[in-house]
Amino acid sequence: MARPNLTRSLLLEAPTRVPDGAGGYSEGWVPLGRHWAEVLAGAGSEAAGVATVLSRVRYRITVRAAQVGSTARPVADQRFRDGTRIFRILSVAERDPGGRYLVCLSEEETAT
């Protein structure tokens, strides 16, 4: 198995909830750190909305593994950010038997 080409720097972010003082909360994102990654595009789809069209593309994002439980280890429902682009993490699995790399199945949505 060939080594992945980790040439893109992505910011890993986790969701957070902050009380709004009125009994509710507002949602935001907290940066957890940068990862060098290989980003490979997969299949895409399009869904029509009332005022816009959503384009969804799946990506396989490979990063170096981190220990289970570490904040540096990506998990589902987190996201990667590359500037203004957002890649929502759907699932995470080990790429190789030695557990040196992780593959994150991710999705990017774009309104057009």
The pLDDT tens digits for 71-92 are 999 999 999 999 999 999 999 9
Is 41 part of any domain? yes
The letter for the amino acid at 93 is A
> Which tokens go with 58?
């799946």
The pLDDT tens digits for 46-76 are 777 677 767 889 999 999 999 988 999 999 9
Is 24 part of any domain? yes
Report the pLDDT value the prediction gives residue 97, as an integer from 0 to 100. Answer: 86
Report the pLDDT value the prediction gives residue 41, as an integer from 0 to 100. Answer: 93
The letter for the amino acid at 27 is E
Between 10 and 49, residue with greater pLDDT: 10
Residue 57 sits in a domain of what CATH number? 2.40.10.270
Nearest partner of 81 among 7, 11, 9, 3, judged by Cα: 11
Is 18 part of any domain? yes
Is 93 part of any domain? yes
Nearest partner of 55 among 44, 63, 65, judged by Cα: 44
Give CA–CA dist 43/31, Å, rounded: 28
Is 26 part of any domain? yes
Kindly state the greatest CA–CA separation across the chain.
Answer: 54
Is 1 part of any domain? no
Is 25 part of any domain? yes
Is 3 part of any domain? no
Let me know: does 11 contact 86? Beta carbons within 8 Å: no
Let me know: does 94 contact 105? Beta carbons within 8 Å: no
> Which tokens go with 94?
């080990």
Note down the domain range covering 15: 8-111
pLDDT bucket at 7, cuts 50 / 70 / 90: very high
CA 10 to chain centre: 9
The domain tally of the chain equals 1
Let me know: does 23 contact 82? Beta carbons within 8 Å: no
